Amino acid sequence: MSTSHTPLRTAIIGYGMAGVVFHAPLVASTPGMEVAAIVTGNAERQQRARQDYPAATIFATTDELWQHAADYDLVVVATSNDVHVSLGIAAMQAGLPVVIDKPMAATVTDARRLIDVSQSTGQKVTIFQNRRWDNDFLTVRQLIQDDLLGPITRFESRFDRWRPAVRTGVWRESSDPSFAGGQLYDLGSHIIDQALVLFGKPTHVYAELARRRPESQVDDDCFVSLQFANGISAHLWMNQVARVAGARFRVLGLNGTYEKWGLDPQEDALKAGLRPGDPGWGSEPRERWGHLSTDLGAHGLHTDGPIETLAGAYEHYYAGVRDALVDNKPLPVDPRSVVDVVRVIELAQQSSREKQTVEF
């Protein structure tokens, strides 16, 4: 097969924020793919889906989708966390490869079940860890790859929000473990993943998980420390009660430091109706660039000032999914690497309960 064939007919399950803002637009803007079906039982969301993608079939239930599984090439699970695993398994058992939004699962046991079913059915599964293609993270990876900081000693990653009110009736605020609510599963799934992409598996995990908002049933102020065999320490913060955000990244090496403030612009661009390929996609103005101080610049010259942020590239994720399905190339996100993310989350919960460092 090749990308010149009929576009991959993609069915998206769920049409809340994940489906509306991320998955449907990114699928629709990827050459060789199309949004062919949307599954939602909510009448208002059905109406919006018809307006957004008039050529797509709208199903009210997943049972309807499975009855027509032969008409599709890929399923995207963009639902509440509690059904990520069950729907992922159902898709593969229906003969369809599947993209699952993060978190992959609430437990390592369930994450491994997904991989087991993938192996038994021969259907691919991959996880939407889109922030591997954030502009600032791509820049950090490049700086480390180019050895512009020297041996890394400490990696600091912070994702701060200001959402002090508990939202009632929202599954993300539920204490039911199956929903995998709270910031450790939400933002933590991203920034833990980024740390593991950079440095591999940790040796030890320490965490402090707190509920700061009155009546909160889930963690909303989290700190996770990861220790790696090469001596690198990763300090990760994620919370909803920071009125003033800290630096998004601060990376310290023996020969330099990189510091970056502000968030990748792609989510806001998608919400505003922009798409990959539009002018300026994924880029940011000079005033938002990070600061690099190093003695390892060009020709060994000292550098101390702004450095251009690489353009973000969420579009690479679904292009990678397409190439994996059509040309049998590697998946853009190996699900086995994300099992390690879930493992860190479980150990962070254990560490916080026991108030001590635990081994990975």
Q: Does domain 8-128 have CATH number 3.30.1360.20?
A: no
pLDDT at 5: 60
Return phi, psi of residue 343, to 5°. -60, -45
Rounded to whole angstroms, the Cα distance separating 157 from 190 reads: 10
Rounded to whole angstroms, the Cα distance separating 169 from 167 reads: 7
Q: What is the dihedral of CA 349, 128, 134, 39, to 10 degrees?
A: -120
pLDDT in tens, 255-289: 999 999 999 999 999 999 999 999 999 999 999 99
pLDDT at 296: 81
Domain spans of the chain, in order of start: 8-128, 131-314+343-359
pLDDT at 6: 87
pLDDT at 299: 60
pLDDT at 3: 40
The CATH number, out of the four listed (3.30.1330.10, 3.30.360.10, 3.40.50.620, 3.40.50.720), of the domain defined by the range 131-314+343-359: 3.30.360.10
- Helix (H) or strand (E) holding 235, with range, is strand 233-239
Q: Return the closest-CA partner of residue 85 out of 68, 64, 109.
A: 109
8 A C-beta contact, residue 157 and residue 248: yes
Domains 8-128 and 131-314+343-359 equal at CATH topology level: no
75: which 2 tokens? 């399923």
Counting as low any pLDDT under 70, the low residues of the chain are 1-5, 298-301
Q: How far apart are the first and last CA of the chain?
A: 41
pLDDT at 1: 34
Rounded to whole angstroms, the Cα distance separating 31 from 222 reads: 39
DSSP 69-86: GGG-SEEEE-S-GGGHHH
Rounded to whole angstroms, the Cα distance separating 100 from 335 reads: 10
